[in-house]
Amino acid sequence: MTLRTAIGQSWYVTAFVLLLAGWVVVKAGDVFDAIETLWTVSPGGEAVGQVAASGIVGLAVLAVFVALLVGLFGELGETSPAPGTWPPEE
């Protein structure tokens, strides 16, 4: 897979995938920043609102989404299998 091949085959899909991956990474950073402030809840205190577990689950979901985008991006760069000519040549 190369970026050049992916852009040559479908530049608009490649641009969309790259922008979407960048947006997901930024949002993952926001979620991680929220988790860092949630670690300060004392063991005996009650947590009101978000808890750290929900942030960890959110990061896991975002990681799976990024993995799927990487797989999609890998498929964009493939040149084969290409459709065969019709009628088939012998």
Residue 56: inside a domain: yes
The verdict on residue 69 lying in a domain is yes
**Per-residue pLDDT for the chain (90 aa), expressed as one digit of tens each?**
566 676 677 778 778 888 888 888 898 888 888 775 555 655 666 656 667 777 788 889 988 988 888 887 777 666 666 666 677 776
Q: How many domains does the chain have?
A: 1
Say what the pTM is: 0.58
Residue 32 lies in a domain: yes
Strand, coil or helix: what is 87? coil
Range of the domain at 23: 3-76
The answer to whether residue 87 sits within a structural domain is no
24 in any annotated domain: yes
Does residue 82 fall inside a structural domain?
no
In a domain, residue 31? The reply is yes
CA-CA distance, 65 to 88, in Å (whole number)? 39
Tokens 């670690």 found at: 39
